[in-house]
């Protein structure tokens, strides 16, 4: 068992013929992910990866022909909102948007729309999903994680890789890794994923990687205290970030003391979560 | 991206929001001329992209054109929170009966825009919110439906606005919503929105924050960015699509991904060092971008060592290595450099850097320790 994706996932890639789309499709297929289709408007009828994956003009056509049940989006920011609307309208139940730099107001419209449709969106501005040994949807390097019983959920991209890699180095594996993305408005938050891990039999422990800005970590702490039976270890990035400065992620901004790393760490520790001083300390806290 | 008051108010005016007559001036003479045109009392307001101008003495009332010239001259020599005043706004002075706070901003928790109003405007709104939260009225706007008229009326009623002003207030609310939406604002704020003694609503002050990610569809706004108000290195970084913030330490950091970049800073500090900057080269950066990043880091004379921490995913380590080599050729750095490459094409990257005379590290902690030691010399 795992959450969100597994070897039966039938993946569609939006923006499959672009540079990033093609590179990462190759990686996902090499990992063993069942990539059934790609979409690039105007390139329907072509094939990529030596004739292995058919390209369609629209998500609707791709779903009809291949029964795709998950979509990963690699299109540029200005086209990404439309790609998310299109996937939702075509009946894709799980959408993973890798694209970074999507305007916030677009994301508010997307999020409110897909919530009405009952669609699950991961991201945007995220590394995607990895169920080691089964499937990867997105850009997490496959070779940095092995199958195991640790569920990983993170707002960051490369920082997540650090953690997976640190786990692997000590022989610990992951059930599923979920990168929820660092934008202020995204599709899935910590609580959504914590709940899935709590109910997943393969997951025995959970790692939560947060960062400054917003209140998602505080809400996660409340949820953990009230509902989680599995142990949770956390790391919060941005402990030295100066207040009021925007540290790249549109979401990682602290105004005054609200959203500071210290506040989040306090809230998590109060909920019984062990908080690591740096990412490589996480494996020892899980033991 | 922050807009100046005069820029924000010009946008508001386009959307039918009443603003005082006035213009921006860069010299005392210009201010005098504007005051003469306006006639009567004027307000001279420093145009800097920080809050607290009034308390710093950057906002003054002049009774005539001569006094306007004198006060503008004074304000134009001021520095407010580290920013020199380069321009002043000269507005006709309003006869204020009452001050209202009014804004629209993004509510990330609700995932919707929120319209905020308070009858206790003018003063520091955060203080009102902290001490008397019941005086702050909030109404969420469905981003798919837009602002509805009844919502504006609800706000007007909640802040006890006299009924004869409700229609004008609704027009201002509709204008503020359109200004927020059309310009991809993160904040569109009027503080204060005043009721004048002759019972009219006027936006005396204005502030807009624009979503940087949306500037691709607002070339007109991108053009009016006031680059004088930011560190030159930050302007240069933005030109290359890099996310950069200058800090006070001596260890330059170049990292891919914002979370990992913050973590690298945290861990440098944990091991007794001080980061000189936050720098995220972003996902999928090519050699050219990496070279630009390196030039920016090395241009800071405080930098005594550089830490490269690259965990390849969408970014390929060999591309980063090529960028490092290009920049080294050009800049000929004299400070020690610690490099850690992991992930996509890390092996190829390490090979490229084999003869570059860099300190290598395996883990993040190892890299940070070595960088801290190298900076100490």
pLDDT digits (tens, 9 = 90+) for A93-148: 999 999 999 999 999 999 999 999 999 999 999 999 999 999 999 999 999 999 99
Nearest residue to A37 (alpha-carbon basis) of A7, A3, A69, A8? A69
Same domain, B173 and B150: yes
Same domain, B189 and B107: yes
Same domain, B273 and B312: yes
Please determine, for residue A38, whether its predicted confidence score (pLDDT) is greater than 50: yes
Q: What is the CATH number of the domain that holds B295?
A: 3.40.50.261
**ipTM, two decimals:** 0.89
Q: What is the model's pLDDT at position A256?
A: 47
Based on the structure, what is the number of domains in chain B? 3
Please determine, for residue A234, whether its predicted confidence score (pLDDT) is greater than 50: yes
Contact A100 B282 (CB under 8 A): yes
Confidence at B206, pLDDT banded by 50, 70, 90: very high
Q: What is the model's pLDDT at position B357?
A: 87
- Within a domain: B8: no
Please determine, for residue B288, whether its predicted confidence score (pLDDT) is greater than 90: no
Last residue of a domain, one of B92, B110, B142: B92
Distances (CA, A) of B265 to A20, A202, B86, B311: 28, 34, 34, 15
Burial class (CB in 10 A: 0-12, 13-18, 19+), A259: buried
Q: What is the mean pLDDT of residues B41-59?
A: 91
- Within a domain: B10: no
From chain A, the residues in CB contact with B143 under 8 A are 105, 108-109, 112
- Within a domain: B3: no
Contact A252 B213 (CB under 8 A): no
Last residue of a domain, one of B191, B223, B255: B223
> Chain B residue with minimal CA distance to A217?
B109
- The DSSP 8-state label assigned to residue B308 in this structure reads E
Which of A:130-149 have CB within 8 Å of B? 139-141, 144
Half-sphere exposure of A55 (CA within 13 A, CB side): 21
- Within a domain: B15: no
Q: What is the model's pLDDT at position B313?
A: 79
Phi, psi (deg, nearest 5) at residue B185: -75, 150
Q: What is the mean pLDDT of residues A188-212?
A: 97
Same domain, B180 and B281: no
Confidence at B217, pLDDT banded by 50, 70, 90: very high
Same domain, B109 and B217: yes
Last residue of a domain, one of B92, B120, B153: B92
Secondary structure element (H or E) that encloses residue A65, with its range: helix A59-66
b/e per residue, A83-106, with b = 16+ CB within 10 A? bbbbbbebebebbbbbbbbbbbbb
What three-state secondary structure class fits A211?
strand
Torsion sign (Cα): A218, A219, A220, A225 = positive
Contact B260 A127 (CB under 8 A): no
Phi, psi (deg, nearest 5) at residue A20: -65, -40
Please determine, for residue B201, whether its predicted confidence score (pLDDT) is greater than 80: yes
Tell me the C-alpha distance between A54 and A75, whole Å.
Answer: 17
Q: What is the mean pLDDT of residues A244-252?
A: 56
- Within a domain: B167: yes
A284 CB within 8 Å of a chain B CB? no
- Within a domain: B116: yes
Per residue in B137-167, pLDDT (tens digit) is 999 999 999 999 999 999 999 999 999 999 9
Q: What is the mean pLDDT of residues B273-285?
A: 90
Least confident of A52-66, A247-261, B49-63, B128-142: A247-261
Identified catalytic residue from A24, A199, A227, A249:
A249
Same domain, B85 and B150: no
Confidence at B10, pLDDT banded by 50, 70, 90: very high
Q: What is the mean pLDDT of residues B162-183?
A: 97
Burial class (CB in 10 A: 0-12, 13-18, 19+), A26: middle
Half-sphere exposure of B324 (CA within 13 A, CB side): 29
Residue partners of B329: CB distance under 8 A and separation at least 6: none
Q: What is the CATH number of the domain that holds B35?
A: 3.30.1490.20
From chain B, the residues in CB contact with A214 under 8 A are 108-109
Same domain, B277 and B370: yes
Please determine, for residue A257, whether its predicted confidence score (pLDDT) is greater than 70: no
Q: For residue B79, what are the β-bridge partners?
A: B84
Q: What is the CATH number of the domain that holds B141?
A: 3.30.470.20
Q: Is A249 tagged catalytic?
A: yes
Same domain, B70 and B123: no
Phi, psi (deg, nearest 5) at residue B375: -70, -30
Instruction: Say if CB A134 and CB A7 are below 8 A apart.
Output: yes
Report the 3 state secondary structure along B246-272: ECCCCEEEEECCHHHHHHHHHHHHHCC
Same domain, B250 and B347: yes
Contact A280 B111 (CB under 8 A): no
Same domain, B332 and B236: yes
Secondary structure element (H or E) that encloses residue A48, with its range: strand A47-48
| Mean model confidence pLDDT for chain A | 93
Same domain, B110 and B70: no
Please determine, for residue B111, whether its predicted confidence score (pLDDT) is greater than 90: yes
From chain A, the residues in CB contact with B177 under 8 A are none
Half-sphere exposure of A73 (CA within 13 A, CB side): 31
Catalytic residue numbers of B, as ranges: 101, 189
Please determine, for residue A188, whether its predicted confidence score (pLDDT) is greater than 70: yes
Shortest Cα–Cα distance, A125 to chain B (Å): 10
Q: What is the model's pLDDT at position B231?
A: 77
Tell me the C-alpha distance between A142 and B144, whole Å.
Answer: 38
Tell me the C-alpha distance between B247 and B281, whole Å.
Answer: 17
Phi, psi (deg, nearest 5) at residue A255: -110, 120
The alpha-helical segments, DSSP class H, found in B81-164 are: 125-131, 149-158
Which of A:25-44 have CB within 8 Å of B? none
- Within a domain: B45: yes
Q: What is the mean pLDDT of residues A169-185?
A: 95
Q: What is the model's pLDDT at position B125?
A: 73
Same domain, B283 and B366: yes
Residue B358 sits in which domain range? 231-376
Per residue in B348-374, pLDDT (tens digit) is 999 999 888 899 998 999 999 999 999
- Within a domain: B80: yes
């Amino acid at each position: 068992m795992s959450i969100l994706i597994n070897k039966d996932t039938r993946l569609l890639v939006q923006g499959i013929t672009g540079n990033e789309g093609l590179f990462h499709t190759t990686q996902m297929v090499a990992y063993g992910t069942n990539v059934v289709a790609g979409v690039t408007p105007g390139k329907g009828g072509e094939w990529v990866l030596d004739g292995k994956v058919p390209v369609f003009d629209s998500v609707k056509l791709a779903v009809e022909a291949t029964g795709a049940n998950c979509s990963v989006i690699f299109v540029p920011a200005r086209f990404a909102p439309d790609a998310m609307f299109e996937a939702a309208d075509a009946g894709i139940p799980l959408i993973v948007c890798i694209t970074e730099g999507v305007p916030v107001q677009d994301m508010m419209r997307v999020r409110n729309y897909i919530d009405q449709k009952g669609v699950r969106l991961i991201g945007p501005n995220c590394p995607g999903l990895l169920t080691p040994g089964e499937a990867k949807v997105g850009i997490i390097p496959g070779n940095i994680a092995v199958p195991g019983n640790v569920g990983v959920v993170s707002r960051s991209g490369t920082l997540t890789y650090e953690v997976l890699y640190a786990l692997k180095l000590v022989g610990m594996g992951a059930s599923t890794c979920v990168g929820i993305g660092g934008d202020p408005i995204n599709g899935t938050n910590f609580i959504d994923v914590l709940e899935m891990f709590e109910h997943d039999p393969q997951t025995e422990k959970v790692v939560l990687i947060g960062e400054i800005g917003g209140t998602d970590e505080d809400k996660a702490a409340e949820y953990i205290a009230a509902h989680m039976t599995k142990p949770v270890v956390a790391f919060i990035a941005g402990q030295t970030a100066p207040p009021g400065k925007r540290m790249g992620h549109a979401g990682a901004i602290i105004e005054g003391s609200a959203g500071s790393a210290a506040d989040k760490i306090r809230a998590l520790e109060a909920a019984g979560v062990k908080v690591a001083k740096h990412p490589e300390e996480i494996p020892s806290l899980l033991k | 991206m922050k807009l100046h008051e005069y820029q924000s108010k010009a946008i508001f005016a386009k959307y039918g929001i009443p603003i005082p007559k006035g213009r921006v001036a860069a010299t005392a003479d210009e201010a005098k001329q504007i005051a003469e045109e306006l006639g009567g009392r004027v307000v001279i307001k420093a145009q800097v992209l920080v809050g607290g101008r009034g308390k710093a003495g950057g906002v003054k009332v002049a009774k005539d054109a001569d006094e306007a010239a004198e006060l503008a001259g004074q304000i134009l020599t001021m520095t407010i929170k580290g920013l020199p005043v380069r321009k002043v706004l000269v507005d006709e002075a309003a006869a204020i009966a009452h001050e209202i706070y009014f804004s629209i901003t993004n509510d990330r928790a609700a995932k919707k825009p929120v319209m905020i109003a308070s009858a206790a405007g003018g003063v520091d709104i955060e203080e009102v919110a902290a001490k008397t939260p019941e005086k702050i009225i909030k109404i969420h706007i469905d981003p798919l439906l837009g602002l509805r008229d009844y919502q504006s009326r609800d706000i007007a009623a909640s802040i006890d606005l006299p009924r004869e002003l409700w229609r004008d207030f609704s027009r201002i609310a509709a204008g503020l919503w359109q200004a927020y939406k059309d310009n991809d604002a993160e904040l569109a704020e009027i503080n204060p929105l005043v009721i004048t003694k002759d019972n009219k609503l006027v936006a005396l002050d204005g502030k807009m924050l624009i979503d940087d990610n949306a500037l691709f569809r607002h070339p007109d706004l991108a053009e009016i960015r006031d680059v004088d108000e930011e560190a030159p290195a930050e302007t240069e970084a933005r030109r290359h699509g890099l996310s950069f913030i200058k800090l006070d330490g001596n260890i330059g950091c170049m990292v891919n991904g914002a979370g990992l970049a913050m973590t690298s800073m945290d861990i440098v500090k944990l091991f007794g060092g001080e980061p000189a900057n936050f720098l995220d080269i972003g996902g999928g950066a090519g050699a050219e971008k990496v070279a630009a990043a390196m030039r920016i880091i090395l241009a800071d004379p405080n930098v005594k060592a550089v830490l490269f921490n690259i965990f390849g995913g969408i970014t390929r380590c060999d591309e980063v290595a090529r960028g490092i080599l290009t920049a080294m050729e050009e800049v000929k750095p004299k400070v020690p450099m610690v490099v850690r490459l992991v992930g996509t094409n890390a092996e190829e990257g390490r090979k490229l850097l084999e003869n570059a005379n860099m300190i290598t590290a395996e883990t993040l902690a190892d890299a940070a320790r070595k960088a801290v030691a190298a900076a100490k010399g």
